[in-house]
Structure 1
Amino acid sequence: MDSGSVRVRAALGWLLLCLGLGPAVLARELKFVTLVFRHGDRSPIETFPNDPIKESSWPQGFGQLTQIGMEQHYELGGYIRKRYRKFLNESYRRDQVYVRSTDIDRTLMSALTNLAALFPPEGISVWNPSLPWQPIPVHTVSLSEDRLLYLPLRNCPRFQELESETLKSEEFQKRLRPYKDFIETLPTLSGFHAQDLYGIWSKVYDPLYCEGVHNFTLPSWATKDTMTKLRELSELSLLSLYGIHKQKEKSRLQGGVLVNDILNHLKSATQPQNYRKLVMYSAHDTTVSGLQMALDVFNGILPPYAACHIMELYLDEGEYFVEMYYRNETRQEAHILTLPGCTPSCPLEKFTQLVAPVIPQDWSTECMTTSNHQVLRAILAVAFCLVSGVLVTLLFILIRHGPCWQRESYRNI
């Protein structure tokens, strides 16, 4: 190597050191990415009895992705493309990308809109020169079978018990107390007479919020102060769903299931034969918050439309690291999240150890109810089965060896 080349390399090395880019940084390599995002803007799922804005006021009816929602996810898809332009293939590759959605129109449509911006067809992928789009598969399962994304997972008696315990807990009642008088006024105003927070969130706050976004005229009682209280109650409802009381156990039955799935993908990405680079999950605010509660990084705020939780796996000097980011505002950069007990760039081995307490070993077994009342019912059910089995056995013996069976010996006469 001549002296000129040596000087160039030395100058380059000095420049990299000045910029804080040492050899370790240059060696750092992105290996895998997981995205969990909420669908885009939608019409209300339902509304309160006194609402003058009925389902017919929405072009596609209740619970459907709007054009605003499509724009939000197209923007997010463009952001993902830009963020990973040096990591992902320019166009879609089936061996690199896997997308799963809940089996609901708005999440399926959000994923498809997102992918349209993330992977516009290029080169041999162009099949129609006048249409800058290509079909990319989005996988799903029926809601009754979805034990991954459609959170909260309701077919879980133990979780229902924990929900009931939470509502009776001193901590929850303390947080609820300042809103008691306000809650008592809601039935007269809205016509919604139940006082459970989830119902207030889904049937009062959410439709009013959606209507405000779309410039409908809100009822006179839906003042700024009222909307603030309704939002705070909705956030308390979400927090009580996954936290406040026995958060880790709740997480094992909810967001921990998704944590486990993501962790398995991360571990698979460390294998030489792995070709997958990106897994995307299109879901709901309750999915994003459930995941973040399990990871203990939830900020207590309802995840907005197109909110995206990002997990990246890096290889740095022979060791794997996990980094998490949260993009909760359109057209803004994602901000880093730190798993409690670790650093922002968390070694995969340490990450695995820290999330182990919220990963269920046998979800179905852990979902069995454990209250004394239910245990007694279970014992009685087992006892009934045993007694029934004994009676059936005795009946069979009686028939086999009793007088009725003996008549068989006379048939040959």
Structure 2
Amino acid sequence: RQIFIRSTDFDRTLMSAEANLAGLYPPDSQEQFNPNISWQPIPVHTVPEAGERLLKFPLTPCPRYEQLQNETRDSAEYTNKTRDNLQFLQMVANETGIRDVSLESVWSVYDTLFCEQAHKMKLPLWVTEDVMARLKQLKDFSFEFLFGIHHRIEKARLQGGVLLDHIRKNLTKAANSSTHQHLKLLAYSAHDTTLVALQMALDVYNGIQAPYASCHIFELYQEDDGNFSVEMFFRNESGKEPLPLTLPGCQQTCPLQRFLQLTDPVIAQDWEQECQAASTAHDTELFVALAVCGSILFLLIILLLTVLLRIQSQPPGYRHVSNEGEEQA
């Protein structure tokens, strides 16, 4: 076996995988079962959507990631972007009938209009070129919101770093002759958010949503001295050669060990543990307040018990009688 193909469990990604394989591996004379069909069956592996923990992002549930997203919503960049586009977003909501159009949901409006435009459908009158351009700019921002803007590295550990860790292990395995891995190609058919998550983890994202049929390529080479190196490319336009990508801190042809070293910070050692929600300042203040209230209540109970014990310790029927009259007599 020389190739392994994995797809998310969506019709469009499965179809993309199959279409790409039909182009990559046309049958030779022995494999062609029908002279009129230049195609051969190649398996595409997948898992149910509910169990997808590698290719569909953002990965959820992850309480710490949700905390980071809430912090991102409070960041100056996010709040300023919301303020500057508030009237525009309200206009889009009014025209579409969607109740809540935000920086996080506006991508769906653009995506629908883009698909209609690509299929030569007539767009609504309110959708001018300027409106489409602004929707695209906000849609690109929404992708950055998912995986960057605030605490990019920690977000990467919880998101794109998961896929990068899988890729790193496969590169290491391929470079290790003792593993006897003979795969020449591992391909994943997934989504634009998959590419953004991965490229944000690698810190090579260009801030623009990946177009249809985009591909991030990792190539492993063995050099003349026996060492291995990694090269990356991004194919985002069919009519041009893939663009070389350079991992920050390395050259385009990056030694494998250096590649692993530079990407270590975005690899979670225990994803489940790191996804646990961190204590916030509000949680700490609440804990302190409860502790103080508990201590005061405990002291009041001790004081009350002391008073009750002192009262009960007096002899029954005892009463102090003044001897002032006897002294006068």
1:157 partnered with 2:63: yes
CA distance in 1, matches of 2:250, 2:57: 27
1:123 partnered with 2:29: yes
Counterpart of 1:230 in 2: which secondary structure? helix
Which residue in 2 is equivalent to 1:325? 233
Counterpart of 1:129 in 2: which secondary structure? coil
Q: Alpha carbons of 1:304 and 1:177: their partners in 2 closer, same or farther (altered >3 Å)? A: same
Which residue in 1 is equivalent to 2:217? 310
Q: Post-superposition shift, 1:236?
A: 0.6
Q: 1:268-307 counterparts in 2 under 5 A?
A: 268-272=173-177, 273-307=180-214
Mapped contact 1:252–1:359 kept (Cα < 8 A): yes
1:337 partnered with 2:220: no
Counterpart of 1:123 in 2: which secondary structure? coil
1:144 partnered with 2:50: yes
Q: Post-superposition shift, 1:371?
A: 3.4
What TM-score does the superposition give when structure 2 sets the normalisation length?
Answer: 0.83
Residue among 208, 214, 232 paired with 2:137: 232
CA distance in 1, matches of 2:194, 2:282: 29
CA distance in 2, matches of 1:367, 1:320: 33
Structure 1, residues 359-409: CA drift from partner, whole Å, max 9, x if none?
111111111111349978xx9xxxxxxxxxxxxxxxxxxxxxxxxxxxxxx
Residue among 114, 128, 151 paired with 1:223: 128
Which residue in 1 is equivalent to 2:99? 193
Q: Post-superposition shift, 1:130?
A: 2.1
CA distance in 2, matches of 1:127, 1:235: 46
Deviating 4+ runs (over 3 angstroms): 371-376
Which residue in 1 is equivalent to 2:79? 173
1:246 partnered with 2:163: no
Q: Post-superposition shift, 1:268?
A: 0.7
Which residue in 2 is equivalent to 1:386? none
Q: Alpha carbons of 1:143 and 1:375: their partners in 2 closer, same or farther (altered >3 Å)? A: farther
Mapped contact 2:57–2:194 kept (Cα < 8 A): yes
CA distance in 1, matches of 2:141, 2:280: 29
CA distance in 1, matches of 2:49, 2:63: 18
CA distance in 2, matches of 1:186, 1:233: 12
Output the amino acid matched with 2:230: V
Q: Post-superposition shift, 1:355?
A: 0.4
Which residue in 2 is equivalent to 1:48? none
How many matched pairs? 282
Counterpart of 2:120 in 1: which secondary structure? coil
Which residue in 1 is equivalent to 2:110? 205
CA distance in 1, matches of 2:67, 2:157: 14
Mapped contact 1:259–1:291 kept (Cα < 8 A): yes
Mapped contact 1:369–1:375 kept (Cα < 8 A): no
What TM-score does the superposition give when structure 1 sets the normalisation length?
Answer: 0.66
Which residue in 2 is equivalent to 1:184? 90
Q: Post-superposition shift, 1:188?
A: 1.3
| Aligned-residue CA RMSD (Å) | 1.6
Counterpart of 2:221 in 1: which secondary structure? strand
In terms of Rg, which structure is larger? 2
Q: 1:37-56 counterparts in 2 under 5 A?
A: none
Residue among 341, 346, 362 paired with 2:270: 362
Q: Post-superposition shift, 1:306?
A: 0.3
Q: Post-superposition shift, 1:152?
A: 1.0
- Report the identity percentage: 49
Counterpart of 1:127 in 2: which secondary structure? coil
Q: 1:395-406 counterparts in 2 under 5 A?
A: none
Which residue in 1 is equivalent to 2:325? none
CA distance in 2, matches of 1:235, 1:349: 33
CA distance in 1, matches of 2:50, 2:136: 29
CA distance in 2, matches of 1:306, 1:239: 20
Mapped contact 2:64–2:278 kept (Cα < 8 A): yes
CA distance in 1, matches of 2:4, 2:82: 42
Give 5+ residue unaligned stretches, structure 2. Answer: 288-329
Mapped contact 1:320–1:347 kept (Cα < 8 A): yes
**More RCO (CA 8 Å, sep 6+):** 1
CA distance in 1, matches of 2:89, 2:211: 24
1:110 partnered with 2:54: no
Counterpart of 2:264 in 1: which secondary structure? helix
Give 5+ residue unaligned stretches, structure 1. Answer: 1-94, 380-413
